[in-house]
Amino acid sequence: MQRALAALIAALFFSLTQSADADLLERIAGNGEMVGQFDGVLVPVDLPTESLADLLPPQLKLERPRAQSTLAVLAIGIQRDVHFVGQKKYLKYRPSETKKYHEVIVAVPNLYLEVGDEIIGPVTHYALLYLNSQKAIDLGKNFWGYPKFAAEMTGGELADADSLDDPVNYLVKADDAPLLEAAFRIGDVDPAMHKAGAFEEVEAMLKQPVVLKHDESWMFKEFDWNLDEASLSPASSDLKLHQGFWGEVQIEAKRQALGEQLGSFRMQTRWRSRQIEQIKETP
């Protein structure tokens, strides 16, 4: 009897705690401010414009819709210590904290959003994300509408890439099917490899507001990648994207063929993001 009563009290306490946590999380998330650390590689790739448009919400328009190819940026790496920033009395309370997880982001910069009679831009859209943290997936989808999907990810630490002869390998797969394979080499690489992937092209993605569709609203988020203090170094990426990577959309890269070494950049930084605006879509 005593054990049953103790179990009942424990269950009730857990339920109340979970409810309080959910309410607190809702209030902190409403502030929309998060921080974290990213250590990964930014890989600019050219994708066929016509196919890429199928990956975007129809309200987002490409800067050059008639161009044969459009720049996208793949950010592939590890996120650490990601958590909400709340009011002062909640600073030590981090219900969303995720200590470490792998993430792949497909970012499309230089887009323009049409909402009613307004045209807003340039903005960046995160068209596709793969993670191996269910907590981060749920939070991103529920609060801001990030198109996040679960995947199995294995990869070494970029800090272990001591020389060009010692690449760091990444493998992303879902349902035992490979989605992405990559080998990163950090250090002195051929400068010619970066002509098609100059950092100025990547920089647009890092400085523009990010826009996401969530329910019937457009969410605008400001990302501060702390570029003044970020560590940036040249890298090469031997990248292979399997067709399943894009889901139901059929995309094949053109000018920079997948499977070839692409000019890229390793970035280590502390970032901060916050919601800056929410616009409801008019019927």
Supply the mean pLDDT for the chain. Answer: 78
pLDDT of residue 202: 82
pLDDT of residue 38: 95
Contacts of 140 (CB under 8 A, 6+ apart): 129, 146, 148
pLDDT of residue 235: 82
CB 54 within 8 A of CB 247: no
pLDDT of residue 233: 81
**Closest of 56, 143, 57, 149 to residue 102, by C-alpha:** 149
Residues of the chain with pLDDT under 70: 1-32, 86-98, 159-165, 187-198, 248-262, 282-283
